[in-house]
Each structure stands twice: as structure tokens, then as C-alpha cells.
Structure 1
Amino acid sequence: MTVTAPAPEDVGHRTTEIIRQIRNYLEFPRLKEATLLYPECWATFTGYPIIAEWDLTLDGPPLFDEAIRVLALKTAVFTLTGGNESTAELAVAAPVDEMVHAVLAQHTLISRMQRSLALELVHMTDQEQFDYEPGCYTDACYQAAGWGEPNRRYWIGAQETTRRHTILNGLYASVGINPGGRAHRITFDVPEPALPG
């Protein structure tokens, strides 16, 4: 069933309430701390790496803020559409989406927060749109929430993402990693050191 997307102004107003609830949640500092540890365990070849001169120490905290904003925006649309998952799955730039995954990986804390705040955070890969471009509906909702223009360091459009993936895939191939990092031929065998004399 097709549902009309709510007006960005309505989404912005509802998002402001949701993000206030999330940021005031008692365990929010722990959520941020745990999320920023997550890339040490797992990160893709296609999300964060498309950021020019990516540095987790510098880029992690602002990306965390963007991920929380995205979850609040999606939750607002979900609420305003009576729970329509498809409409709520907004188009999001790849690096921001990767940080959303890192936030949601904090499953125990996120579950506790959702119960406490009576919110249902929305994110389903089978509903994701990979066509984010600056100026789209997501940007209109983002701006209506009072955040101004999305930071273009992280909010990279689909066409530019494709261009950067092409560059990355060439670099990955040069060290034996297949496109997107989905396979490689690295054996991890270490040659025996040569014996002296």
C-alpha cells in the first residue's frame, strides 16, 4: 500500500520531540560511547571509506550525531504514517547509514531505550533506498528539524558515491580484494624466514 509521505514541516516538528527524548535518555552517553567503539570490530568497505581522508577519531562523533538524527527522522515519519515501514525508510548517505548500523548494534541498550521512551526506531535493509541525493525529501525533513544543510562531508549523493566506489574498488583490487570487499584471495600464509648463511 502506497502512503503519502508527510510534509517535511510535520516531520521536522515530530523529529524535534523524538530527538529530545533520545538525547535526554539516561543511558544516551553510554550509547554514544559504545557506538563509537563498534567500528573497531566491524566496518564495511563501502560506507565510511567513501569519506575523503576518513579518520574515525575525528569523524566518529559527528557521524554519530547524524545517525541519531536519521533514526529520529525515520521514527517521526513512521509515527506520522501510522507505522508505514516503507515510507519511513528514508534515503540516507552511505557513511551515515553505516553509523546507523553501529548505533543499532547496541541492541540491549537500544531495546531498553525504546521500551522506556515508547519509541520504535525504524531501520530495515530490505526497505532501504540507495538513491540519496542532496535536495531530496530527506534533506527537506532534515532542514525542517532545524539542522540546516546536511554536512556534505558525510551526506554524499548516490552519483558521487558510485564514483568514489569505483576509485576504492580499483585500490582494493591492487591488494587482492574484490569489489566492495566481499571476497579476497589473501591466504595469510607467512613465508618462512630465510636461514642465515
Structure 2
Amino acid sequence: MTTATALPEPETVAARAGHILEDWRADAEMKTVLDGCAKYSSDWDDFYGGPLISTYSVARDARHLLGDALKVMALKSAVYELTGDELLAELPVPVPVDVTCHALCAQFTALSRIQQRTGHLFVHSTVNEHVNDTAWDTGDYTHRAYEAAFGPVDDRYWIPAQEAERRRRVLDGKYASIGITDRGMTSAIGYAATA
């Protein structure tokens, strides 16, 4: 659904997002979802999101990343509620936080129940990420709205676009040395048959 042509003021989105986040956190099942995501870390197989964080450890970083992912989802939902425009609502997000949004959205059944009870949709569209083709950067709309709603971003996780790309190139070199190329989309690793 597309109805709007411009984003609302970041402060307007921030106020709405704060309310949405409160509603989601007040739902009895949300704690279970977040705790489950944090503990189910063996499925956080990600080679170009979390590893962009210096000395990354899913065990150490999961809780913070999940908190930021939920806040970002509240911002996206606020934009959607204010505009009715799913494309506008797909805000640019730093890569590690975006990857965590994907992990959070994997809790589909529980999130569906939370959406139904709170009346706030979880708005996330990978297709629209590619349509918008923008990367998060310091001072952009998402950054201003996030800080208006929730306070300063943590620079450990909110890696600007240019630095994220630099780190991805470092990873490209390391992964290529073991046969993983095309940003993890191609593998030249041959597995010997078991005896």
C-alpha cells in the first residue's frame, strides 16, 4: 500500500514510535520473544552484519542488538501508521541492526499475536530495502528519529555506511581466502564424501 509521498517530521515519528514500543514491551509475550531470540543464537548465522562489529560476540551483543531492532521496528511502524506507505516505512538501518530485525521477524507466530493484541504492525520488507537502495548514515532521517525517540545511538552497533562498506571489504578478503565470495553468496568449498 502506498499513499504518502514524504516522511513525517522525525519528532512526529519519534513520539508515535515511543508509544508503539511501550505497547509492544507491555505485551506479556514480548519478553519471551526477545529472550528466545537472544538464547537461540546458534541460528544467527550472519557473515556481513554482526561481524562488522569490532570483536563481535552474539552472546555478548544479542541483547543490545535486539533492543535496537525493536526500537527500529517501532520507528518503521510509526512511519507506516502515519503515512500508510510501506515503502517510506522501510527506513535505512545500520547493517548489524537490520540483520537483527530479520532474526526478530523470524519469530513470526509470536509477533503475529503481539501485533493483533497491540494493534501495531511490525513493518519490515526486505524487498523494499532493495527498492529504496539506501544505506543508513549518521545524521539521516532514521538517526534523527531514533535519537528523538530513544536517545543517542550506540556507535558500536550504528556503523555509518562508508565505514560499514570498508569493513565489508576487509571481510571480503578474509572470506575469499577460504573460498567464500560474492558477499557470502558463492562458495568454492568442496566437501569430501564421508567414508
Say whether the 8 Å CA contact 1:92–1:130 is kept in structure 2. no
The one-letter code sitting in structure 2 at the alignment partner of 1:94 is V
Provide the residue aligned with 1:150 in structure 2. 153
Is the 2:41–2:59 contact (alpha carbons within 8 Å) kept by the matching residues of 1? Answer: no
Instruction: Calculate the TM-score normalised by the size of structure 2.
Output: 0.92
What is the aligned partner in structure 2 of residue 195 from structure 1? none
Residues paired across the two proteins, number: 190
Runs of 4+ in 1 over 4 A off after TM superposition: none
Equivalent residue for 2:162?
Answer: 159
Distance (Å, rounded) in 2 between the aligned partners of 1:21 and 1:91:
23
Distance (whole Å) between structure 2 residues aligned to residue 138 and residue 119 of structure 1 = 19
Query: Alpha-carbon deviations, 1:108-140, whole Å to 9, x = none?
Result: 101111111111111111211441101100011
RMSD of aligned alpha carbons: 1.6
Q: How far off its partner does 1:106 sit?
A: 0.3
Cα 1:191–1:80 change in 2 (3 A) is closer
Residue of structure 2 in register with 1:187 after alignment: 190
Of 56, 62, 77 in structure 1, the residue corresponding to residue 79 of structure 2 is 77
Distance 2:4 2:24 in 1: 29
TM-score (structure 1 length as normaliser): 0.91
Secondary structure in structure 2 of the residue aligned to 1:72: helix
More helix by share: 2
- Give the direction of change, closer, same or farther, for the CA distance of 1:167–1:152 in structure 2 (3 Å limit): same
Offset of 1:188 from its aligned partner?
Answer: 2.5
**Max radius of gyration: which structure?**
1
Instruction: Give structure 1 stretches of 5+ with no counterpart.
Output: 193-197
Is 1:140 matched up with 2:141?
no
User: What amino acid maps onto 1:165 in structure 2?
Assistant: R
Bigger mean CA offset, 147-156 vs 69-78: 147-156
Give, in whole Å, the separation in 2 of the partners of 1:163 and 1:92: 17
Read off the aligned partner of 2:15 and give its amino acid letter: H
User: For the residues of structure 1 that align with 2:56 and 2:47, how far apart are their CA atoms?
Assistant: 12
CA–CA distance in structure 1, aligned partners of residues 137 and 81 of structure 2: 24
Question: 2:21 maps to which residue?
Answer: 19
Measure the CA separation in 2 of the matches of 1:103 and 1:136.
24
The letter for the 1-side match of 2:171 is L
Report the more deviating stretch, 123-132 or 89-98: 123-132
The answer to whether the 8 Å contact 1:66/1:96 transfers is yes
Q: How does 1:24-173 map to 2 (within 5 A)?
A: 24-81=26-83, 83-128=84-129, 129-145=133-149, 147-173=150-176
C-alpha distance in structure 1 between counterparts of 2:5 and 2:180, whole Å = 42
CA distance in 2, matches of 1:172, 1:46: 10
Contact 1:75 1:119 in 2 (8 A): yes
Question: Any idea what SS the aligned residue of 2:187 has?
Answer: coil
